[in-house]
Every structure is written in C-alpha cells, then in structure tokens.
C-alpha cells in the first residue's frame, strides 16, 4: 500500500460510547468516503465520520492505539435513481453504514434519503456502541417485540431495526441472518431493491438466499 494511503499521528478520544467503545479522531489530509476503514497490524477500525480533514473511528477504550494506520476498503458508489435500498450491517461494520447514511443525507437530502431506504437492519453479537431507542415507525413483517432503532436513524425518520446477541431490550434476539429469515422466509426480496451489506461470510450466504436467482442488485463488503 502506498504512503498516500497511510495515516500517521496521535488519535484523541472524542467520546466514550456504550459497549466499552470509544469514538476517536485523527487528523488526515486524505479524503475518506463511506466503505473505507482504518487498519493496523491486522486490526480494523471502522470509520464513523469524516469532515474538515478529521476522521472519526471506533475502537475499544482499553485497546492501545497505534500512531500509524493504513486506509483500506473502497468508496461505496450507489446509483442516483429511484431504486429502493436495503442496508445491512453487523458488529464492527455498523459505524460504516451510519457513515454512509450521513453522507447520503448530505448528498441527496433528507426527503430523497427517506424515499430510497426500504429498511435498515443492524446487528451486534455484543453491546451496541449506542443506546437502542424505541422506533416511531412501523415496519411490516417484523418479529413481535422487535421495536428498537438508533437515535440517529430516528432523527432522519428512517425505518430501522436492531438484532442483538446480548439480549438488548427491544431488539430481535439473534443474528442478522436469523432476522432476515424471520422477515422474508421463503419469499425472495423484490427485484427492484438494491441490497447493500457489510459483514461476515454468513451474512453473504443469507443474502444470496434472500435474493434467490437475482444476483445483480447487491453490494457486499466483507468486514469482520
């Protein structure tokens, strides 16, 4: 990887988050886009936000941070049309999807973002790096009791739900793959929906089953 993709410097703690996570900031002249993350010695650090030559990323609070990172991944490019979007992310990939949503809101505006988003499903086997909140928005075919979302997505009036492996209140009890099975069962996703997912190989296999024979409208980024 070239030196142009290397970030050096001391990261500072911006905010302590739930789940013993921290939001950190590092200065960089690199322009960073959704779909990219930081890496160092095999450890991935998901980027949550980039603005004014500052990148904000998540890391465990007790984990000693390096002073040199590699910028990895590729910017996510979505078609600027009327195609509905199903956004999926699990575990450490959740900040990457939230970064994408923030950027799309700035690019498209709130109204178009609401029109494009079919639903957003996020899952974590451990505690989320935010506090789940009850959603104001109904989503058809959701399992009973699955009512939790995030404050960011609620503020943007986007339909979202959470799945938890740690028994978080209001969340679906299980993995993201299990939640997809509960929602769609044997009914394949409608063909006019673009699936954008960031996560594990298990999630990738679930998406293939969800899409059936339609494999043209999906964007999957492996991240774990």
pLDDT one-digit tens code per residue, 30-50:
899 999 999 999 999 999 999
pLDDT at 212: 63
224 contacts 200 by C-beta, under 8 angstroms? yes
Kind of pairing, strands 148-149 and 133-134? antiparallel
Predicted confidence band of residue 3 (pLDDT cuts 50, 70, 90): very low
Spatial distance between the Cα atoms of 161 and 15, rounded to a whole number of angstroms: 24
pLDDT at 6: 87
The alpha helices in 129-200, defined as continuous H runs, are: 151-155, 176-184
Q: Is the pLDDT of residue 154 over 60?
A: yes
Query: Which of 123, 102, 108 lies closest to 51, judged by CA?
Result: 102
Q: What is the rounded average pLDDT of the residues 115-135?
A: 96
Specify the higher pLDDT residue, 221 or 217. Answer: 221
Predicted confidence band of residue 186 (pLDDT cuts 50, 70, 90): low
Q: Is the pLDDT of residue 1 over 60?
A: no
Specify the higher pLDDT residue, 90 or 208. Answer: 90
CATH 3.90.550.10 for domain 84-222, yes or no, is: no
**Tokens 């995030």 appear where?**
150
Burial track 75-98 (b if 16+ CB lie within 10 A, e otherwise) = ebebeeeeebbbbbbbbbbbbbbb
């Amino acid at each position: 990887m070239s030196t142009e993709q290397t970030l050096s410097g001391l990261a500072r703690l911006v905010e302590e988050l739930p789940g013993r996570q921290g939001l950190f900031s590092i200065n960089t002249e690199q322009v960073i886009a959704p779909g990219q993350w930081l890496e160092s010695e095999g450890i991935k650090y998901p980027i949550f936000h980039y603005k004014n030559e500052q990148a904000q990323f998540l890391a465990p609070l007790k984990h000693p941070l390096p002073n040199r990172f590699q910028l990895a991944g590729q910017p996510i490019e979505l078609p600027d049309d009327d195609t509905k979007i199903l956004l999926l992310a699990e575990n450490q990939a959740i900040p990457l999807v939230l970064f994408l949503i923030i950027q799309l809101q700035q690019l498209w505006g709130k109204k178009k973002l609401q029109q494009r988003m079919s639903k957003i499903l996020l899952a974590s086997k451990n505690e989320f790096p935010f506090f789940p909140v009850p959603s104001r928005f109904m989503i058809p075919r959701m399992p009973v009791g699955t009512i939790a979302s995030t404050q960011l997505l609620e503020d943007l009036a986007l339909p979202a739900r959470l799945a938890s492996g740690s028994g978080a209140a209001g969340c679906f009890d299980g993995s993201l793959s299990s939640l997809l099975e509960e929602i769609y069962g044997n009914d394949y996703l409608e063909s006019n929906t673009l699936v954008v997912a960031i996560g594990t190989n298990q999630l990738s296999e679930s998406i293939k089953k969800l899409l059936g024979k339609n494999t043209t409208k999906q964007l999957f980024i492996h991240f774990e």
